[in-house]
Structure formats: C-alpha cells, structure tokens
Amino acid sequence: MKRILIFSIVVVMFTACASTGSVDYAQIAESGEDVFAGKNWNAPRRNNMYDRWEFRTDGTFHFIHVHEGRPLDRGNYRYNINNGTINITKEGEENVTVYTYKFKGNAFTLKLVPSETTRSSGGYQMGALPEDTETFTHAK
C-alpha cells in the first residue's frame, strides 16, 4: 500500500510539472544554449495590440505586430547571443540593437544597452524594437 501511495505521489508531481511546462529557461541560458531558437515570444497586450517574435533555429526571427487580431509583418531580424546580451539587426540594415536579457519562469526581460545608434523616443512603441525594458512571455 505504501508503494502505491509513493508511486501515486510521483505520478501526480510529474504530471503537474509536465502540464505547466515548467522549463527552466534561466538554466538553459546559463548553459550557453540558444534558449530563443525555435520558440515564439509575445510582449504584453496593450490597447488590443501586442508584438510577437517567432525565433527560428538559424539565428533569425520574424517580428509580427498584432493589431486587433490582425498580424502586421515587421520583417525578419538576425540575432546572436553573447555573454548575456542579445544583438539584433533587421535584415537589410546595419544598425545593431543590443539588449541584456534575463529569464524568470517562462518569460525574459530585455533591457536596452544604449549606444551611438540608439535613439530613444522616451517610450516603447508597439510594432518597433523596444527602446528600454520589455518582458516577453513564451507562447505557442
């Protein structure tokens, strides 16, 4: 009876972890793996809009701005990860935007690293690369 009880507890714990998708993105990032590749990430909804980044496994991602349920294409971007930063360049352009990133749970927060090419408008514009700090959540 005791074995059945222990087995049941283990099954329940495994099922709970599997159903919540409790992936430790911070640990994966610390190991040096590309934690973005092959995953989709959404910025928070604001005024019936949000931004979505769909990362591929080839070092690129597709940027989509969703406005009232309609996807608007914002283009393809290249990215590379380097010592806790992610460097982003829109395909066809040369300017590199650099962010630090930090994972917590199923989300990551970007913080802009100011440079000569960075021009801040003082706020985040939906449909554009974040100009300060923004949190994205893992999405399907």
CA-based angle 84:81:29, to the nearest 5?
A: 60
A 10 A CB-CB count for 84 gives 11
> What global pTM score does this model have?
0.76
Parse the chain into domains and list their residue ranges: 23-139
Pick the CATH number of 23-139 from 1.10.3300.10, 2.40.128.360, 3.40.50.2300, 3.40.640.10: 2.40.128.360
Per-residue pLDDT at 100: 95
Per-residue pLDDT at 117: 59
Per-residue pLDDT at 131: 87
Per-residue pLDDT at 84: 87
Comparing CA positions, the residue from 129, 126, 124 lying closest to residue 68 is: 126
Per-residue pLDDT at 10: 41
- Tell me the mean pLDDT per 10 residues along the chain, length 140: 50 42 81 92 94 97 95 96 92 93 93 73 65 91
Per-residue pLDDT at 5: 43
Per-residue pLDDT at 116: 60
Contact call for residues 80 and 89 (beta carbons, < 8 A):
no
